[in-house]
Amino acid sequence: MTILYEDNHLIAVNKSCGELVQGDKTGDKTLIDDLKTYIKNKYNKQGEVFLGVPHRIDRPTSGVVLFARTSKALARLCEMFKGHTDMRKVYWAVTAQCPSESEGTLRHLLVRNEKMNKSFVMSPGTRLPEHQKAQESVLHYRVIAHSDRYHLLEIRLETGRHHQIRCQLAAIGCPIKGDLKYGAKRSNPDGGISLHARSITLIHPVRKEPLTITAPAPQEFETLFGITES
């Protein structure tokens, strides 16, 4: 667990592929567990440690995850993530296929299937059951690097839907490397997918100052594209 940023109201970590942000049916240990222990020990906290979760990223994904250390910060962050106001989220994704355009905007209606834990692009004219609802999903991408076999895309989210980047890239024939669920041909050695939450830029929920938190990319990105972190 690598701490990227910490103050009295916020704490951010660089999540590794395979780490679980919040508890699920597996019962595996989570980032929340580790962070609560870290805060308790560092600050000699007595009793239960407060840690709010305003957002999550998928287990096979790496990168920035931001937590709230106070209820005041949590309420404001939840508003930001829900409305995508005062906030910018940037991801890096590796694909075997390159989009036909070097940059562009993807707009789809996505439908989530909870039983399959998967999202689908809704085709025109499709009728949905009453309990299901399609959500407009928008992202902006640009190709920023190439290797012999792969391409690196920088993605800025305008909406935040379930598996949005994974689903939308697959819909244009560019599934993320290692993402078998969305059409990749083979898995990654570590079982993860080559999607990295690169940075979050926001207005600090309490101090009202601009803040950018950047997560160094995994070794794979340096190996494929020669990226080095300063």
Q: Nearest 5°: CA angle at 159, between 100 and 64?
A: 90
Distance between CA atoms of 87 and 101, rounded to whole angstroms? 26
Q: What is the pLDDT of residue 125?
A: 62
CATH number for 2-225: choose from 1.10.3720.10, 2.30.38.10, 3.40.50.1100, 3.30.2350.10: 3.30.2350.10
- Residue 135 contacts residue 110 (beta carbons within 8 Å): yes
Q: What is the pLDDT of residue 27?
A: 73
- Walk along the chain (230 residues) in steps of 10 and give the mean pLDDT of each run: 94 94 79 93 90 93 96 94 85 97 96 92 72 87 96 95 97 98 96 96 95 95 84
Predicted pLDDT of residue 123 = 77
Cα 50 to chain centroid distance, Å, stands at 23
* Alpha-carbon distances, residue 153 vs 38, 214, 222 (angstroms): 34, 16, 14
207-212, long-range: CB < 8 A, 24+ apart: 207/9, 211/5
Structure tokens of 61? 């994904």
